[in-house]
């Protein structure tokens, strides 16, 4: 009797990542993954109930890898996530290391927004993992804001988001789309841009009256 070949989930995700970051990302289907990996259709459908779940699992692995790199960067600072400017710069620089270490993961991560991944075709545990990832991300933004300005209101968190999401994400997405890799000067540009944003005066926290005025 022939022995059933086992396909570790990470190996299947590696193949799927190569497909989705190729010249034809629309070509990622469960059947295409089976063909490219050499796994049976049954194996693929057992691992991923739908293309949507496959994409969600791919994104989650990218997010976990970026989290790991970010934690390494924070551990190298004095004071960790609450060490002010150093912590914000470290978190903003982490995507550069992530993109250098995992280039295909970075291409996928920066091209896909997590809110686009929610679907009725993903397993409950995958949905829970997506929600947990988002909660950790928001918590980190608030901790960075507290370490920087001793406040974590919407204005402060928005400024931190500009530093650790908008600046590195925009620059790296352009690098990866245009060149397929991170330019050597990217780290220095992110550092300079983030420090410039942090040097700007922060607006006062929003008040209830200001919020009502905006809504009207």
Quickly count: other Cβ atoms within 10 Å of residue 68's Cβ.
14
Q: Which listed CATH number (2.20.25, 1.10.357, 1.10.238, 1.20.1250) goes with 55-205?
A: 1.10.357
pLDDT in the model for residue 4: 47
CB neighbour class for 192 (10 Å; exposed up to 12, middle 13-18, buried from 19)? exposed
pLDDT in the model for residue 24: 64
Rounded Cα distance, 144 and 128, in Å? 24
- Counting residues of the chain whose pLDDT is more than 90, the rounded percentage is 60
**pLDDT over 60 at 190, yes or no:** yes
Q: How many residues does the chain have?
A: 216
Chain segment 75-124, per-residue pLDDT in tens: 988 777 777 999 999 999 999 999 999 988 998 888 776 666 767 778 89
Name the residue among 153, 127, 129, 128 with its Cα closest to residue 141: 153
Rounded Cα distance, 62 and 65, in Å? 5
Ramachandran angles phi, psi of 7, nearest 5°: -120, 105
**pLDDT over 70 at 59, yes or no:** yes
- pTM given for the model: 0.84
Q: Which listed CATH number (2.60.40, 1.10.10, 1.20.120, 3.90.120) goes with 8-48?
A: 1.10.10
- Residue 44's H or E segment, with its range, is helix 41-47
**pLDDT over 70 at 159, yes or no:** yes
CA-atom Rg of the chain in angstroms: 20
Name the residue among 22, 21, 15, 5 with its Cα closest to residue 30: 15
Q: Where are the domains of the chain?
A: 8-48, 55-205
Q: Give residue for tokens 């989705």.
A: 20
């Amino acid at each position: 009797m022939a022995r059933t070949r086992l396909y570790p989930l990470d190996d299947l995700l590696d193949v799927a990542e190569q497909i989705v970051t190729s010249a034809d990302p629309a070509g990622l289907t469960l059947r295409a993954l089976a063909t490219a990996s050499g796994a049976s259709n049954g194996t693929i459908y057992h691992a991923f109930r739908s293309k949507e779940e496959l994409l969600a699992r791919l994104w989650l692995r990218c997010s976990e890898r970026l989290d790991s790199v970010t934690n390494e960067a924070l551990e190298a600072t004095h004071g960790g996530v609450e060490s002010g400017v150093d912590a914000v710069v470290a978190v903003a620089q982490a995507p550069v290391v992530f993109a250098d270490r995992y280039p295909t993961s970075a291409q996928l991560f920066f091209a896909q927004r997590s809110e686009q991944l929610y679907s009725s075709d993903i397993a409950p545990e995958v949905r829970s993992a997506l929600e947990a990832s988002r909660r950790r991300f928001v918590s980190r933004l608030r901790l960075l804001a507290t370490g920087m300005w001793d406040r974590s209101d919407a204005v402060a968190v928005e400024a931190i988001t500009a530093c650790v999401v908008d600046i590195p994400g925009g620059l790296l997405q352009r690098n990866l789309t245009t060149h397929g890799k991170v330019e050597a000067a990217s780290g220095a540009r992110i550092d300079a841009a983030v420090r410039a944003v942090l040097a700007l005066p922060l607006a006062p926290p929003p008040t209830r009256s200001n919020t009502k005025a905006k809504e009207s």
